[in-house]
Structure 1
Amino acid sequence: MIDPSFYGLHYDIKNHEYSNYWLKGGRGSTKSSFISLEIIMGIMTDTQVNAVVLRKVAVALRDSIFLSISLGY
Protein backbone atom coordinates (compact mmCIF):
# COMPACT_ATOMS: atom_id res chain seq x y z
CA MET A 1 0.00 0.00 0.00
CA ILE A 2 3.02 2.30 0.38
CA ASP A 3 4.33 4.02 -2.73
CA PRO A 4 7.80 2.68 -3.58
CA SER A 5 9.26 6.19 -3.33
CA PHE A 6 8.61 6.05 0.43
CA TYR A 7 10.14 2.62 1.14
CA GLY A 8 13.38 4.08 2.51
CA LEU A 9 11.54 6.52 4.75
CA HIS A 10 9.22 3.75 5.93
CA TYR A 11 12.22 1.68 7.09
CA ASP A 12 13.76 4.75 8.78
CA ILE A 13 10.53 5.33 10.71
CA LYS A 14 10.20 1.64 11.54
CA ASN A 15 13.76 1.62 12.92
CA HIS A 16 13.26 4.89 14.84
CA GLU A 17 16.10 6.61 12.96
CA TYR A 18 14.84 10.17 13.65
CA SER A 19 12.17 11.82 15.78
CA ASN A 20 11.12 14.42 13.17
CA TYR A 21 10.66 14.29 9.42
CA TRP A 22 10.05 17.05 6.87
CA LEU A 23 8.32 15.76 3.74
CA LYS A 24 8.31 17.84 0.61
CA GLY A 25 6.48 17.28 -2.62
CA GLY A 26 3.68 18.58 -4.72
CA ARG A 27 0.09 17.52 -4.90
CA GLY A 28 -0.24 13.91 -5.89
CA SER A 29 3.06 12.89 -4.28
CA THR A 30 1.13 10.52 -1.93
CA LYS A 31 2.55 12.24 1.19
CA SER A 32 -0.82 12.31 2.96
CA SER A 33 -1.55 8.67 2.15
CA PHE A 34 1.89 7.59 3.34
CA ILE A 35 1.74 9.61 6.54
CA SER A 36 -1.76 8.37 7.41
CA LEU A 37 -0.64 4.75 6.97
CA GLU A 38 2.45 5.33 9.13
CA ILE A 39 0.36 6.86 11.92
CA ILE A 40 -2.10 3.97 11.88
CA MET A 41 0.67 1.34 11.76
CA GLY A 42 2.47 3.09 14.63
CA ILE A 43 -0.65 3.04 16.79
CA MET A 44 -1.35 -0.60 15.96
CA THR A 45 2.18 -1.85 16.71
CA ASP A 46 2.87 0.10 19.92
CA THR A 47 0.20 0.06 22.62
CA GLN A 48 1.90 2.99 24.40
CA VAL A 49 1.51 5.33 21.39
CA ASN A 50 -1.18 7.95 20.81
CA ALA A 51 -1.62 10.31 17.88
CA VAL A 52 -3.12 13.72 17.36
CA VAL A 53 -3.39 15.07 13.84
CA LEU A 54 -4.03 18.77 13.33
CA ARG A 55 -4.58 20.84 10.23
CA LYS A 56 -4.13 24.58 10.12
CA VAL A 57 -7.60 25.91 9.32
CA ALA A 58 -8.68 29.16 7.72
CA VAL A 59 -12.24 30.47 7.89
CA ALA A 60 -13.49 27.60 5.73
CA LEU A 61 -12.10 24.28 4.52
CA ARG A 62 -11.83 25.70 1.01
CA ASP A 63 -9.69 28.60 2.25
CA SER A 64 -7.39 26.38 4.31
CA ILE A 65 -6.78 24.08 1.33
CA PHE A 66 -5.88 26.97 -0.92
CA LEU A 67 -3.69 28.44 1.82
CA SER A 68 -1.81 25.14 2.15
CA ILE A 69 -1.28 24.89 -1.59
CA SER A 70 -0.07 28.45 -1.92
CA LEU A 71 2.43 27.97 0.94
CA GLY A 72 3.70 24.74 -0.58
CA TYR A 73 2.61 22.42 2.22
Structure 2
Amino acid sequence: MGRKTKRLLLLIISCSTAGVVLGGSASWAESNQCFQASNVTSECLTEDPVINTLQGMSTGLIAGAGAAFGAAWQLRHEE
Protein backbone atom coordinates (compact mmCIF):
# COMPACT_ATOMS: atom_id res chain seq x y z
CA MET A 1 0.00 0.00 0.00
CA GLY A 2 1.28 3.41 -0.91
CA ARG A 3 1.66 6.31 1.43
CA LYS A 4 -1.31 8.21 -0.04
CA THR A 5 -3.54 5.15 0.23
CA LYS A 6 -2.63 4.69 3.89
CA ARG A 7 -3.37 8.36 4.61
CA LEU A 8 -6.72 8.14 2.84
CA LEU A 9 -7.62 5.00 4.77
CA LEU A 10 -6.64 6.61 8.06
CA LEU A 11 -8.72 9.69 7.21
CA ILE A 12 -11.76 7.58 6.38
CA ILE A 13 -11.42 5.47 9.53
CA SER A 14 -10.97 8.46 11.83
CA CYS A 15 -13.86 10.43 10.33
CA SER A 16 -16.13 7.39 10.36
CA THR A 17 -15.26 6.64 13.98
CA ALA A 18 -16.00 10.23 14.98
CA GLY A 19 -19.32 10.02 13.11
CA VAL A 20 -20.28 6.78 14.85
CA VAL A 21 -19.51 8.22 18.29
CA LEU A 22 -21.30 11.52 17.68
CA GLY A 23 -24.29 9.95 15.94
CA GLY A 24 -24.74 7.28 18.60
CA SER A 25 -24.44 9.65 21.53
CA ALA A 26 -26.81 12.17 19.94
CA SER A 27 -29.44 9.47 19.35
CA TRP A 28 -29.01 8.10 22.86
CA ALA A 29 -29.42 11.58 24.35
CA GLU A 30 -32.51 12.17 22.23
CA SER A 31 -34.04 8.92 23.50
CA ASN A 32 -33.32 9.85 27.12
CA GLN A 33 -34.76 13.32 26.60
CA CYS A 34 -37.90 11.77 25.12
CA PHE A 35 -38.45 9.62 28.22
CA GLN A 36 -37.89 12.54 30.59
CA ALA A 37 -40.31 14.89 28.82
CA SER A 38 -43.38 16.09 30.69
CA ASN A 39 -45.67 14.74 27.94
CA VAL A 40 -44.40 11.30 26.93
CA THR A 41 -45.81 10.36 23.52
CA SER A 42 -46.78 6.88 22.37
CA GLU A 43 -44.06 7.08 19.70
CA CYS A 44 -41.50 7.59 22.45
CA LEU A 45 -42.74 4.54 24.33
CA THR A 46 -42.80 2.22 21.31
CA GLU A 47 -39.30 3.05 20.04
CA ASP A 48 -36.42 0.94 21.32
CA PRO A 49 -33.56 3.22 22.48
CA VAL A 50 -30.94 0.67 21.39
CA ILE A 51 -32.33 0.50 17.84
CA ASN A 52 -32.55 4.28 17.77
CA THR A 53 -28.91 4.52 18.87
CA LEU A 54 -27.79 2.00 16.24
CA GLN A 55 -29.58 4.00 13.56
CA GLY A 56 -27.79 7.15 14.71
CA MET A 57 -24.47 5.33 14.68
CA SER A 58 -25.01 4.05 11.14
CA THR A 59 -25.98 7.52 9.96
CA GLY A 60 -22.85 8.92 11.61
CA LEU A 61 -20.72 6.25 9.93
CA ILE A 62 -22.04 7.18 6.50
CA ALA A 63 -21.71 10.91 7.17
CA GLY A 64 -18.14 10.52 8.46
CA ALA A 65 -17.04 8.40 5.51
CA GLY A 66 -18.68 10.83 3.10
CA ALA A 67 -16.94 13.76 4.74
CA ALA A 68 -13.59 11.98 4.49
CA PHE A 69 -14.08 11.21 0.81
CA GLY A 70 -15.16 14.80 0.16
CA ALA A 71 -12.12 16.21 1.95
CA ALA A 72 -9.78 13.84 0.13
CA TRP A 73 -11.39 14.69 -3.22
CA GLN A 74 -11.00 18.41 -2.58
CA LEU A 75 -7.37 18.07 -1.50
CA ARG A 76 -6.58 15.94 -4.54
CA HIS A 77 -7.93 18.57 -6.91
CA GLU A 78 -6.10 21.41 -5.17
CA GLU A 79 -2.70 19.77 -5.71
Same fold at TM > 0.5 = no
TM-score, normalization: structure 2? 0.32
Greater helix fraction, Structure 1 or Structure 2: 2
Larger Cα Rg: Structure 1 or Structure 2? 2
TM-score, normalization: structure 1? 0.34
